Amino acid sequence: MKVKRIVSNIAAANPSNAENFYSAIFGLKLVMDHGWIRTYSSGEEMSSQVSVASEGGSGTPVPDLSIEVDILETALERVKNNGIKIEYGPVTEPWGVRRFYIRDPFGKLINVLQHE
């Protein structure tokens, strides 16, 4: 058996509230909409990964999601332009990533990162 994909599901009373966050900030495209579930995708092929952690690194809480981007400054600018509060960072970590934490409209802690 081979794992083909791992999907993160976020509980939300109104899934359409994801649009302004995941599309506007990260440029993800709505690829499925059944009303009760909306799926956003970058279209990139990704490897499956599950991380299990006791902390988020540097003494931070464990984030609910980590989103790796190619240009962190672009994501940071979009976050600021949309009035989203930055909860941690931006900071360059000793393990070679530059990152910051924000919350999505559903309260999930998002680790936005770029490998240096």
The domain spanning residue 92 has which CATH number?
Answer: 3.10.180.10
Query: Taking residues 53-74, what's their average pLDDT?
Result: 97
Q: What pTM did the predictor assign? A: 0.94
Let me know if residue 67 belongs to a domain.
yes
Let me know if residue 74 belongs to a domain.
yes
Query: Taking residues 4-33, what's their average pLDDT?
Result: 95
Let me know if residue 91 belongs to a domain.
yes
Sheet holding 109-115, edge to edge: 65-68, 109-115, 97-103, 88-92
Query: Taking residues 57-72, what's their average pLDDT?
Result: 97
Read off the tokens for 105: 């409209």
What range defines the domain where residue 67 resides?
Answer: 15-44+60-115
For the chain, give the percent of residues with pLDDT over 90. Answer: 91
Kindly tell me if the per-residue pLDDT of 93 is higher than 90: yes
Let me know if residue 3 belongs to a domain.
no
Please name the residues in contact with 110: beta carbons below 8 A apart, sequence gap of 6 or more. 63, 64, 65, 66, 67, 101, 102, 103, 104
Instruction: Report the alpha-carbon distance of residue 114 to residue 76 in Å, rounded.
Output: 11
Kindly tell me if the per-residue pLDDT of 26 is higher than 90: yes
Structural domains of the chain, count: 1
Give the SS3 label for residue 91. strand
Let me know if residue 36 belongs to a domain.
yes
Let me know if residue 51 belongs to a domain.
no
Confidence of residue 46 (pLDDT cuts 50, 70, 90): confident
Query: Taking residues 68-94, what's their average pLDDT?
Result: 98
Kindly tell me if the per-residue pLDDT of 65 is higher than 90: yes
